[in-house]
Amino acid sequence: MPDTLGGGQQVVATSRGIALQLLTIAENRLALATVEVQEERNRLLHATFLALGIAGCALLSGMVITTAIVLAGWAWSPLGVLLILAAGYISAATAMCWLLARHLQQWQSFAASLDQLRKDRICIAEILA
């Protein structure tokens, strides 16, 4: 009878140890996810502000260049110059939309957290097997 009580206490102690280890692993993964969320937020804000600055400068320079081209080609054909510029702008917008779509398809958020969770799952599966 004492052996079964000692064995029961050992099972409880082992279960408690496993539970503590699982909680520690979960805490570490949550900390990693929190850090990655902050990094992603900072990266996104930085990219957004850079994109806004680029867009503002590009818009201003595009307006100046467009005005110069229209003034230079006005004597030749005002409508022709405007149509050529519109076609160029549409082509550039289409190319940028394609690049953005390709970029968004390759975007991976929380890659390190997901990779670590996969490793944890494999490790636990090996331990339980």
* 20 band by pLDDT with thresholds 50, 70 and 90: confident
The domain limits of the chain are 2-128
pTM over the 0.85 mark? no
Q: What is the pLDDT of residues 44-86, one digit of tens each?
A: 999 899 999 999 998 999 899 999 999 999 898 989 998 999 9
* Interacting residues of 88 by C-beta distance below 8 A, sequence separation 6+: none
- % pLDDT > 90, the chain: 28
* Interacting residues of 110 by C-beta distance below 8 A, sequence separation 6+: 33, 36, 37, 40
- The four Cα atoms 36, 37, 42, 46 give a dihedral, to 10 degrees, of 100
